[in-house]
Amino acid sequence: MFDYDLLVIGAGSAGLAAAQAAARYGTRVAIADPNYLGGTCVNRGCIPKKFMVFAADFARQQCLAKSYGWVNPSGQFDWLALRTAIDQQLAELRQSYQSKLAKAGVTVLHSSAQFVDPHQLTVGDRTVTADNVIIATGAEPVKPDLPGIDCGLTSRDMFRLETLPEQLTIVGGGYIGAEFSDVFATLGCQVTLIDKNELILPGFDHDIRQTLHQSLIDQGIRLMPETALESIKPDQSGLHVSLSGKCEDTLLADTLLLALGRSPNMTGLNLEAAGVKVEDGAIAVDDYSRTSQPSIFAIGDCTDRLPLTPVARAEGAAAAKTLFTDQPQAVSYRWVPSAVFCSPQAATVGYSEAEARAHTDLDIEVHCSRFTPLRYQLSPQDHKAMIKLVVNARSQEILGLHIVGDNASEIIQGFIPALRRGLTTAELADTIGLHPTSAEEVFGLV
């Protein structure tokens, strides 16, 4: 007799979803994590970062208000007041998770877990057994082996800063680097963004990358493309950041953020004892999230799939359903949206133009519109928006939708069910939108 029908390792978005779903099937469930409930997203990722984005939005609104007749809209920003408010909200969220788990009958073990064999694990100072295990240990920031690298902060440290930096240098132009550069520049920091690529946001559609790259430059952020970090040397004057590539300068910064991506976190699990296979630095799984050990599943960012919170939650629910019902479920990744919370926002779903053209059996056409939203018509700010459709030329089925502009993340979600069902350009053209809005531009593209 096992102690639990299911032990979930990791109480982030994936693990919480799996534990709660499994409990609804009437199973005995425990979840083990030495850290706060909610994982990276709630405690040092998506949620606190979005609060910081909102804070920056208020600064932008103050500037925009002058164009609308507000004579003296400016105010004073208090970084510590924002930090305190965020911390209070996160504490409430963690308590909410604790209450939900208790109500569902899930046992919370506030310790790390390590495999002894496929069904036996040490959790803190005790040993537990489980019929099935779901690994949901997430990912951790990448810190390359370079001189002085420990002087650099990671994204989790940005939420604990005592004061706003005067000179913030960010290495890495993915969504974390792009979002933090936008936020801190808007809050008054001098920001330099270093990236090894020609344009920021690798993996996104080229037009999104180009538009947001230029937007950051227009905000006064110093972008240094095709440049890599070589070393960091601290002294009394600050951090001396040595670079290579297109720019071989040495920069001086008081704060350095390493936004070089994240890698699966498998530290301390002792996967070898459980017979769990690792491939290319991630836990290998099949379409149903099952590992090489039939009783052990892995979900979320510890696998080599889409590292997004909603995906992690979907994988958690699907794994529980596969384990405890006679209806195994796989997650489809074809129409998963993603967003970058800069100003303007960017949101995307489906194929980028490059991805679509890589399918040699498809003839591709592209419809793209760039415009200034009505909100900025009275403002001297050069705030551009973009809407782009990637289309199968033969069937006129829409393969990808990409939006840059205010509320892009909110706009794009309403299209996803129709896109999944084969939305065509003719159906878009026959749709009457709301006027005057930016979203109506989608219907006028074709």
**Residue 321: both structure tokens together:** 């359903």
**Residues across the chain:** 446
Q: Burial code of 395-426, b = ≥16 C-beta within 10 A, e = fewer?
A: ebbbbbbbbbbbebbebbeebbeebeeebbbe
**Tokens representing residue 355 in the block:** 């991805």
Q: Taking Cα atoms as reference points, which of 137, 132, 121 lies closest to residue 16? A: 137
189 contact partners, CB below 8 Å, separation of at least 6:
164, 165, 166, 167, 168
- Separation of alpha carbons 123 and 148, rounded Å: 35
Q: Kindly report the number of other CB atoms within 10 A of residue 177's CB atom.
A: 24
Angle at 283 between CA 282 and CA 284, to 5 degrees: 110
Question: Does 367 qualify as catalytic in the annotation?
Answer: no
Q: What is the DSSP letter of 161?
A: -
What is the distance between the alpha carbons of residues 215 and 217, in angstroms, rounded to a whole number? 5
Tokens 């479920």 belong to residue: 329
Q: Which of 110, 206, 367, 435 is catalytic?
A: 435
Over the range 336-356, which residues count as b (16 or more CB within 10 Å of their CB) and which as e? bbbbbbbbbbbbbbbbbbeeb
Q: Give the residue numbers annotated as catalytic, written as ranges.
A: 435
